Amino acid sequence: MKKSGRKVQDELLPEYDFANMPGGVRGKYVERYRQGTNLALLDRDVAEAFPDDKAVNEALRVVMKAAERLPRVVSHKRRKKMIGSR
């Protein structure tokens, strides 16, 4: 199979000048990244329910604590495997 003689061109159009675009901040999350923070993109409806990241974390911790209190459910396949090994 012959390789194409074409060179891969940059798809970014020259009229995109990110230095002059409003709202863009270089390195906005670099410090969090260095600290090992995981970033998660929330859907718009979910993000609107929480005023800030502290509120999201608090809600997730409540869910985690509630999940710890629930009895563990063993799947049908695992239960069958456990019974068959007796």
Boundaries of every domain in the chain: 18-84
For residue 64, the model assigns a pLDDT of 96
Tell me what pLDDT residue 84 has: 65
pLDDT of 82 > 70? The answer is no
Task: Give just the sign of the alpha carbon dihedral 16, 20, 25, 27.
Answer: positive
The reported pTM is 0.45
pLDDT digits (tens, 9 = 90+) for 5-37: 666 677 777 777 777 777 777 888 888 788 887
Number of helices (H) and strands (E), helices first, in the chain?
A: 4, 0
Do residues 29 and 36 touch, judged by C-beta distance below 8 A? no
pLDDT for residue 23 = 76
Q: What is the pLDDT of residue 57?
A: 94
